Protein backbone atom coordinates (compact mmCIF):
# COMPACT_ATOMS: atom_id res chain seq x y z
CA UNK A 1 0.00 0.00 0.00
CA UNK A 2 1.52 3.33 0.99
CA UNK A 3 5.28 3.23 1.37
CA UNK A 4 5.10 2.50 5.03
CA UNK A 5 6.75 5.51 6.57
CA UNK A 6 5.20 3.87 9.54
CA UNK A 7 7.10 0.86 10.54
CA UNK A 8 4.36 0.45 13.05
CA UNK A 9 5.70 -2.77 14.46
CA UNK A 10 8.71 -0.75 15.70
CA UNK A 11 6.68 0.85 18.42
CA UNK A 12 5.43 -2.38 19.90
CA UNK A 13 8.84 -3.99 19.81
CA UNK A 14 10.65 -1.14 21.58
CA UNK A 15 8.15 -1.01 24.34
CA UNK A 16 7.89 -4.68 25.03
CA UNK A 17 11.52 -4.57 25.99
CA UNK A 18 11.28 -1.56 28.28
CA UNK A 19 7.77 -1.46 29.71
CA UNK A 20 5.89 -4.21 31.38
CA UNK A 21 2.74 -2.87 29.73
CA UNK A 22 1.58 -2.77 26.15
CA UNK A 23 0.93 0.69 24.70
CA UNK A 24 -2.81 0.05 24.97
CA UNK A 25 -2.47 -0.72 28.69
CA UNK A 26 -0.34 2.40 29.07
CA UNK A 27 -3.06 4.58 27.57
CA UNK A 28 -5.66 2.88 29.79
CA UNK A 29 -3.50 3.64 32.83
CA UNK A 30 -3.22 7.27 31.73
CA UNK A 31 -6.98 7.56 31.43
CA UNK A 32 -7.48 6.02 34.87
CA UNK A 33 -4.98 8.44 36.37
CA UNK A 34 -6.75 11.31 34.55
CA UNK A 35 -10.15 10.43 35.98
CA UNK A 36 -8.78 9.85 39.48
CA UNK A 37 -7.01 13.18 39.45
CA UNK A 38 -10.07 14.99 38.08
CA UNK A 39 -12.46 13.74 40.71
CA UNK A 40 -10.41 13.56 43.86
CA UNK A 41 -10.30 16.53 46.24
CA UNK A 42 -6.58 16.18 46.94
CA UNK A 43 -3.52 15.69 44.77
CA UNK A 44 -2.94 12.06 43.88
CA UNK A 45 0.36 10.24 43.85
CA UNK A 46 2.64 11.15 40.97
CA UNK A 47 2.48 8.87 37.93
CA UNK A 48 5.61 10.09 36.18
CA UNK A 49 6.48 6.72 34.62
CA UNK A 50 3.14 6.67 32.84
CA UNK A 51 3.50 10.31 31.77
CA UNK A 52 7.02 9.78 30.44
CA UNK A 53 6.11 6.65 28.51
CA UNK A 54 3.08 8.35 26.98
CA UNK A 55 5.22 11.34 25.97
CA UNK A 56 7.66 8.93 24.33
CA UNK A 57 4.87 7.28 22.36
CA UNK A 58 3.51 10.64 21.27
CA UNK A 59 6.86 12.05 20.14
CA UNK A 60 7.58 8.83 18.26
CA UNK A 61 4.24 9.04 16.47
CA UNK A 62 4.63 12.76 15.81
CA UNK A 63 8.03 12.27 14.21
CA UNK A 64 6.62 9.50 12.01
CA UNK A 65 3.80 11.79 10.99
CA UNK A 66 6.26 14.55 10.04
CA UNK A 67 8.06 12.24 7.65
CA UNK A 68 4.94 11.25 5.73
CA UNK A 69 3.43 13.26 2.89
CA UNK A 70 0.05 14.83 3.56
CA UNK A 71 -3.10 13.06 2.50
CA UNK A 72 -1.85 9.64 3.43
CA UNK A 73 -4.84 7.65 4.65
CA UNK A 74 -3.09 6.11 7.62
CA UNK A 75 -1.51 9.42 8.64
CA UNK A 76 -4.84 11.09 9.34
CA UNK A 77 -5.97 8.18 11.49
CA UNK A 78 -2.75 8.23 13.50
CA UNK A 79 -3.01 12.01 13.79
CA UNK A 80 -6.51 11.73 15.27
CA UNK A 81 -5.38 9.19 17.82
CA UNK A 82 -2.37 11.28 18.79
CA UNK A 83 -4.67 14.27 19.32
CA UNK A 84 -6.92 12.22 21.58
CA UNK A 85 -4.06 10.93 23.72
CA UNK A 86 -2.54 14.40 23.89
CA UNK A 87 -5.84 15.79 25.14
CA UNK A 88 -5.99 13.31 28.01
CA UNK A 89 -2.37 13.92 28.95
CA UNK A 90 -2.74 17.70 28.88
CA UNK A 91 -5.94 17.58 30.90
CA UNK A 92 -4.28 15.31 33.47
CA UNK A 93 -1.28 17.59 33.90
CA UNK A 94 -3.49 20.67 34.05
CA UNK A 95 -5.63 19.07 36.75
CA UNK A 96 -2.52 18.42 38.83
CA UNK A 97 -1.22 21.94 38.36
CA UNK A 98 -4.56 23.42 39.41
CA UNK A 99 -4.44 21.44 42.64
CA UNK A 100 -0.82 22.33 43.25
CA UNK A 101 -1.67 26.02 42.90
CA UNK A 102 -4.72 25.69 45.11
CA UNK A 103 -3.08 23.79 47.95
CA UNK A 104 0.56 24.71 47.51
CA UNK A 105 1.73 24.87 51.15
CA UNK A 106 0.02 21.59 52.00
CA UNK A 107 1.38 19.86 48.93
CA UNK A 108 4.92 20.97 49.80
CA UNK A 109 4.39 19.88 53.40
CA UNK A 110 3.19 16.43 52.34
CA UNK A 111 6.20 16.07 50.09
CA UNK A 112 8.55 17.15 52.87
CA UNK A 113 7.12 14.80 55.46
CA UNK A 114 6.71 11.68 53.37
CA UNK A 115 8.70 8.62 54.37
CA UNK A 116 11.59 7.51 52.19
CA UNK A 117 9.96 4.38 50.84
CA UNK A 118 6.74 6.07 49.75
CA UNK A 119 6.22 7.14 46.16
CA UNK A 120 6.54 10.86 45.58
CA UNK A 121 3.64 13.20 45.23
CA UNK A 122 5.23 15.61 42.77
CA UNK A 123 7.42 15.15 39.75
CA UNK A 124 10.70 17.12 39.87
CA UNK A 125 9.21 19.78 37.56
CA UNK A 126 6.05 20.01 39.64
CA UNK A 127 8.12 20.33 42.80
CA UNK A 128 10.11 23.19 41.30
CA UNK A 129 6.84 24.82 40.20
CA UNK A 130 5.31 24.48 43.67
CA UNK A 131 8.38 25.95 45.35
CA UNK A 132 8.46 28.87 42.96
CA UNK A 133 4.75 29.48 43.43
CA UNK A 134 5.24 29.47 47.20
CA UNK A 135 8.14 31.91 47.03
CA UNK A 136 6.36 34.19 44.58
CA UNK A 137 3.17 34.27 46.64
CA UNK A 138 5.12 35.02 49.80
CA UNK A 139 7.08 37.80 48.08
CA UNK A 140 3.88 39.24 46.66
CA UNK A 141 2.07 39.28 49.99
CA UNK A 142 5.07 40.89 51.65
CA UNK A 143 5.42 43.57 49.02
CA UNK A 144 1.74 44.38 48.78
CA UNK A 145 0.61 44.23 52.40
CA UNK A 146 2.80 42.65 55.02
CA UNK A 147 5.61 45.16 55.01
CA UNK A 148 3.11 47.88 55.88
CA UNK A 149 1.86 45.99 58.91
CA UNK A 150 3.16 46.57 62.43
CA UNK A 151 6.45 44.69 62.89
CA UNK A 152 5.02 41.90 65.02
CA UNK A 153 2.42 41.02 62.38
CA UNK A 154 4.67 40.83 59.37
CA UNK A 155 4.93 37.05 59.02
CA UNK A 156 2.38 34.75 57.55
CA UNK A 157 1.88 31.04 58.17
CA UNK A 158 1.01 29.67 54.74
CA UNK A 159 -0.20 26.37 56.13
CA UNK A 160 -2.87 28.21 58.10
CA UNK A 161 -3.58 30.85 55.50
CA UNK A 162 -4.31 28.52 52.60
CA UNK A 163 -7.31 26.20 53.05
CA UNK A 164 -6.68 22.47 53.08
CA UNK A 165 -8.33 20.11 50.64
CA UNK A 166 -11.57 18.75 52.07
CA UNK A 167 -11.02 15.02 52.36
CA UNK A 168 -14.59 14.49 53.47
CA UNK A 169 -15.96 15.44 50.07
CA UNK A 170 -18.18 12.88 48.45
CA UNK A 171 -16.98 11.05 45.37
CA UNK A 172 -18.45 8.54 42.92
CA UNK A 173 -16.41 5.42 42.44
CA UNK A 174 -16.36 2.07 40.67
CA UNK A 175 -14.86 -0.95 42.41
CA UNK A 176 -12.14 -2.84 40.54
CA UNK A 177 -11.08 -5.23 43.26
CA UNK A 178 -13.44 -6.57 45.88
CA UNK A 179 -12.99 -4.89 49.26
CA UNK A 180 -14.41 -5.94 52.58
CA UNK A 181 -15.28 -3.97 55.64
CA UNK A 182 -14.96 -0.40 54.56
CA UNK A 183 -15.90 1.74 57.51
CA UNK A 184 -18.58 4.37 56.93
CA UNK A 185 -18.44 7.08 59.55
CA UNK A 186 -21.72 8.49 60.86
CA UNK A 187 -22.87 11.91 59.76
CA UNK A 188 -24.74 12.91 62.86
CA UNK A 189 -24.60 11.91 66.48
CA UNK A 190 -27.63 9.70 66.34
CA UNK A 191 -26.21 7.53 63.54
CA UNK A 192 -23.82 4.67 64.14
CA UNK A 193 -20.86 3.80 62.05
CA UNK A 194 -21.20 0.71 59.90
CA UNK A 195 -19.21 -1.30 57.42
CA UNK A 196 -19.92 -2.06 53.79
CA UNK A 197 -18.40 -4.57 51.44
CA UNK A 198 -17.52 -3.33 47.98
CA UNK A 199 -18.29 -5.87 45.28
CA UNK A 200 -16.20 -5.89 42.13
CA UNK A 201 -17.83 -3.88 39.36
CA UNK A 202 -20.26 -2.04 41.63
CA UNK A 203 -20.55 1.74 41.79
CA UNK A 204 -20.86 3.79 44.97
CA UNK A 205 -21.16 7.30 46.35
CA UNK A 206 -19.30 7.93 49.57
CA UNK A 207 -16.75 10.13 51.31
CA UNK A 208 -13.33 10.35 49.76
CA UNK A 209 -11.68 9.77 53.14
CA UNK A 210 -13.19 6.30 53.45
CA UNK A 211 -11.58 5.02 50.26
CA UNK A 212 -8.54 7.28 49.73
CA UNK A 213 -5.88 4.57 50.16
CA UNK A 214 -7.71 2.31 47.70
CA UNK A 215 -7.21 4.73 44.85
CA UNK A 216 -3.43 4.60 44.79
CA UNK A 217 -3.35 0.81 44.78
CA UNK A 218 -5.89 0.69 41.95
CA UNK A 219 -8.64 -1.10 43.90
CA UNK A 220 -11.21 1.58 43.09
CA UNK A 221 -11.59 4.02 40.22
CA UNK A 222 -13.19 7.45 40.65
CA UNK A 223 -15.88 8.16 38.06
Partner 1 sequence: MDPSEVEFLAEKELVKIIPNFSLDKIYLIGGDLGPFNPGLPVDVPLWLALNFKQRQKCRIIPADWMDVEKLEEIRELEKREEAFTPVPSPYYMELTKLLLNHASDNIPKADEIRTLVKDIWDTRIAKLRLSADSFISQQEAHAKLDNLTLMEINTIREFLLDSLNCMYKLRSNLQPGSSGRTFTDF
Where on the chain is the footprint of partner 1 (CB under 8 A)?
1, 6, 8-9, 11-12, 23-24, 26-27, 31, 38-39, 57, 61, 73-74, 77-78, 80-82, 84-85, 87, 91, 102, 160, 163-166, 168-172, 184-189, 191, 196, 201-207, 223
CB of 117 to partner 1, least distance (A): 28
Crossing angle of helices 104-113 and 124-144, rounded to 10°: 130
CB of 151 to partner 1, least distance (A): 26
| Beta-carbon count within 10 A of 104 CB | 20
CB of 129 to partner 1, least distance (A): 20
CB of 173 to partner 1, least distance (A): 10
Residue number with CB closer to partner 1 (13 or 152): 13
Residue number with CB closer to partner 1 (39 or 122): 39
Question: Contacts by 63-69 with C-beta closer than 8 Å and gap 24+?
Answer: 64/5, 64/6, 67/5, 68/2, 68/5, 68/6
Residue number with CB closer to partner 1 (120 or 158): 158
Residue number with CB closer to partner 1 (31 or 120): 31
Q: Is 212 exposed, middle or buried (0-12, 13-18, 19+ CB in 10 A)?
A: middle
Residues 6+ apart with CB under 8 A from 85: 27, 30, 54, 57, 58
Amino acid sequence: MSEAAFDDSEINQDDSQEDVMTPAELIAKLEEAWLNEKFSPELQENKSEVVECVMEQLTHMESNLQRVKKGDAKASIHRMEVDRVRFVLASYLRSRLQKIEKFFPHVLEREKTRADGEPSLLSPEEFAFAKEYYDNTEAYLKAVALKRMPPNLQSIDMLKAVPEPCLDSFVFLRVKEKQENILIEPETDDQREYVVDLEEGSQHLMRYRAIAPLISNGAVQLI
